[in-house]
Amino acid sequence: MTLIIMNKLVLICAITIYTLQSNPLIGQDTIPIISSNKHINLFYIEIGGNSPVFSLNYERELLKCTNSFIVFHTGLGVDYLKFNDGNFMAYSMPLEISHILFKSNHHLEYGIGVTPFISKTAIWSSYETSTSQPVDKKYSLYYLLIPEIGYRYQKTGYNWVFKLGYTPVLINSSDQNDKFKYRNHFGISAGHKF
């Protein structure tokens, strides 16, 4: 059931981004072009964000228009450390598609992502505080559904990028009590375009 809802949300986001790119408003010059900029890749470090603690990420520019572009992010992260339950690390792989609007060095970025993670215990849930949780639980695959809206500073002609984002968790599949529990979360990142 949760997978069906997640698929619908991702489909709605993809249709929205496609519609914004393919149907420019009257008076705007937003002709889609293949990116001629040689700096279409970004490697960045993020604290918080789509991988709730820390992640190393790669971003690829997919489509560029006059005042916007669409990018795909992926990465590897560490989400949680809970030594007393034998859950030393919860590895994650944040995936996101974003639409970035700009007029100068200041950009608005919004998108939606899913972060699969492998963990022995629930993360960010009422279940994680339970004392009846078994210590010898096996690793399981879970996911977080995380939209993003944020600010991105990317000076023209320079390769450094800085980002601040609001990344609330909408769905947490590891929470056995309430998968749809909303949780506020933020992220900060810095990276280099190449």
Mean pLDDT value of segment 18-37: 48
Dist. CA 97–CA 95, nearest whole Å: 7
Residue 110 structure tokens? 């919004």
Res 157: pLDDT = 82
Residue 32 clears pLDDT 90, i.e. is over it: no
- Whether residue 16 is predicted with pLDDT greater than 60 in this model: the reply is no
Quote the number of domains for the chain. Answer: 1
Q: Alpha carbon of 71 to those of 14, 97, 154, 157, 192: distances in Å?
A: 12, 6, 14, 19, 15
Identify whether 111 is part of a domain.
Answer: yes
pTM here is 0.73
Domain-located, residue 167: yes
Instruction: Say whether pLDDT at 104 is over 80.
Output: yes
Contact 70, 34 (CB under 8 A): no
Q: Which residue has the tokens 């619908």?
A: 8
Whether 165 is covered by a domain: the verdict is yes
pLDDT score for 29: 47
Q: Is 138 exposed, middle or buried (0-12, 13-18, 19+ CB in 10 A)?
A: exposed
Q: What gap in Å lies between CA 146 and CA 98, rounded to an integer?
A: 12
What is the rounded average pLDDT for all residues in the chain?
78
Domain for residue 44, yes or no? no
Give yes or no for a contact between 82 and 93, defined as CB atoms under 8 angstroms apart. no
Per-residue pLDDT tens over the stretch 77-92: 987 656 566 666 788 9
- Name which residue leads in pLDDT, 19 or 63: 63
Greater confidence (9 vs 179) lies with 179
> Pick from 154, 150, 166: which is nearest to 191 by CA?
154
- Residue 76 main-chain phi, psi, to 5 deg: -130, 135
Condensed to tens digits (0 to 9), the pLDDT of residues 112-126 reads 999 998 887 776 654
Mean pLDDT of 159-179: 86
The answer to whether residue 28 is domain-embedded is: no
In a domain? residue 29: no
List Cα–Cα distances, 180 to 43, 95, 170, 172, 177, in angstroms: 31, 19, 6, 7, 9
Is 33 a domain residue?
no
Mean pLDDT of 142-151: 93
Give the pLDDT mean for 140-156. Answer: 92
State the Cα–Cα distance between residues 59 and 75, nearest whole angstrom. Answer: 9
Q: Give the whole-number percent of the chain exceeding pLDDT 70.
A: 65
Q: Whole domain around residue 68: which residue ranges?
A: 2-20+61-125+135-193
At residue 13, the 3 state secondary structure works out as helix
Q: Is residue 41 part of a domain?
A: no
